[in-house]
C-alpha cells in the first residue's frame, strides 16, 4: 500500500476545487488523484474491480487531511458514468475538473479480433470519455477543465496487435480538438495528455507481446515513464497557468515518437 506520506498537503495553497478522475484506483489514475489532492483539490474517482486499492487510496488521502471519494462505476456503461458525475456533485457540491483517465487495451490481430472486444474498447475508451464530458460540463463554469488521457499510440505504434487501441486513442485526439471549439465560448478548456510507455499494469502486457521486451530501445530517454510524471502534466493543465491551452494533444513519451 502507498504510504500516506507520499501525499503532501503541507505548504500547498488551499483550494475549493473539485475533480473527478475516472479509473483512479491504480496506475496513472491513482497518481493523478494523489497529485490533485496534494494541491488541496477534493477528488472523486471511479473504479471497477480494484476495491481494496480504492479504499486504501481514500485512507491515504484522508490521513494527511485531504478529501477523496471512491465511486464504483464502469466507464463502459453510460448510465454509470453519468451517475458518477452526479454523485461527485452531490457529495462535494460542485465540479471543476474532469480527468477522463479510464481506459483498457485488448490486443489482437486483424485476423481474429472479436466483435465483443471491439465493442468493449469503443465503450470504455471513446463512449465513456464523451458521455462523462457531456455530463460534467453541465456543472462546470468559466475556468472548468477537461483533461483526457489518450496515448501516443494514436499516431505512433511500434509493434503489432494494437490497432484497435490506437484507433480509439486517435478518436480521443480528434474529439479533444472538436470539443475545444464547443467549450471555448464557455471558458472551459479541454486537452489530451498522450503518455508513451509508462510503468503500469498495461505496459506489462505490451512487454509480453512479440518485440515488447525491446520497446524501451525505441525511447530517446531509454527508459519508461512514471505515473507521477504524467500526473504532473495533468496538474499543470488543471491549473490557472494553463488557462490559454485548449484543444492540445500533448505527448509525454520520453521522445519515443520523435
Domain of 125: which CATH number?
3.40.50.720
pLDDT in tens, 86-132: 999 999 999 999 999 999 999 999 999 999 999 999 999 999 999 99
Where is pLDDT greater, at 3 or 28? 28
User: Please, what's the largest Cα pairwise distance for the chain?
Assistant: 55
Please report whether residue 258 resides in a domain. no
Opening angle at CA 202, ends 158 and 55, nearest 5: 160
Q: Report pLDDT for 203.
A: 67
Please report whether residue 82 resides in a domain. yes
Catalytic residues: 165
pLDDT in tens, 177-210: 999 999 999 999 999 999 998 987 666 666 666 6
pLDDT in tens, 56-76: 999 999 998 999 999 999 999
Residue showing cell 481506459:
103
The residues with which 192 forms a beta bridge, in sequence order, are: 148, 249
Please report whether residue 5 resides in a domain. no
DSSP 55-92: HHHHHHHHHTT--EEEEE--TTSHHHHHHHHHHHHHHH
Please report whether residue 1 resides in a domain. no
Buried b (16+ CB within 10 A) or exposed e, 131-154: bbbebbbebbeeebbbbbbbbbbb
How many beta carbons lie within 10 A of that of residue 28, not counting itself? 28
Tally the domains of the chain.
1
Domain limits for position 115: 12-252
Tell me which residue of 38, 3, 4 sits closest to 19, measured CA to CA.
38
Amino acid at each position: 500500500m502507498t504510504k500516506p506520506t507520499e501525499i503532501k498537503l503541507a505548504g500547498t495553497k488551499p483550494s475549493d476545487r473539485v475533480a473527478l478522475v475516472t479509473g483512479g484506483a491504480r496506475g496513472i489514475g491513482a497518481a493523478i488523484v494523489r497529485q490533485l489532492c496534494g494541491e488541496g483539490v477534493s477528488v472523486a474517482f471511479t473504479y471497477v474491480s480494484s476495491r481494496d486499492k480504492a479504499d486504501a487510496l481514500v485512507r491515504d488521502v484522508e490521513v494527511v487531511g485531504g478529501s477523496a471519494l471512491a465511486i464504483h462505476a464502469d466507464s463502459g456503461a453510460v448510465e454509470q458514468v453519468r451517475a458518477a458525475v452526479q454523485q461527485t456533485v452531490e457529495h462535494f457540491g460542485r465540479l471543476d475538473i474532469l480527468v477522463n483517465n479510464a481506459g483498457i487495451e485488448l490486443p489482437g490481430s486483424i485476423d481474429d479480433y472479436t466483435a465483443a472486444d471491439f465493442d468493449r474498447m469503443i465503450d470504455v475508451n471513446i463512449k465513456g470519455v464523451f458521455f462523462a464530458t457531456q455530463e460534467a460540463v453541465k456543472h462546470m463554469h468559466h475556468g472548468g477543465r477537461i483533461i483526457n488521457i489518450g496515448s501516443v499510440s494514436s499516431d505512433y505504434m511500434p509493434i503489432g496487435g494494437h490497432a484497435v487501441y490506437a484507433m480509439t486513442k486517435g478518436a480521443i485526439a480528434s474529439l479533444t480538438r472538436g470539443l475545444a471549439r464547443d467549450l471555448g465560448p464557455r471558458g472551459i478548456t479541454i486537452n489530451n495528455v498522450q503518455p508513451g510507455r509508462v510503468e503500469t499494469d498495461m505496459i506489462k502486457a505490451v512487454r509480453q507481446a512479440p518485440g515488447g521486451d525491446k520497446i524501451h530501445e525505441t525511447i530517446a530517454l531509454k527508459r519508461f515513464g512514471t505515473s507521477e510524471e504524467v500526473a504532473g502534466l495533468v496538474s499543470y493543465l488543471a491549473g490557472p497557468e494553463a488557462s490559454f491551452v485548449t484543444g492540445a494533444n500533448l505527448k509525454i513519451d520520453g521522445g519515443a515518437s520523435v
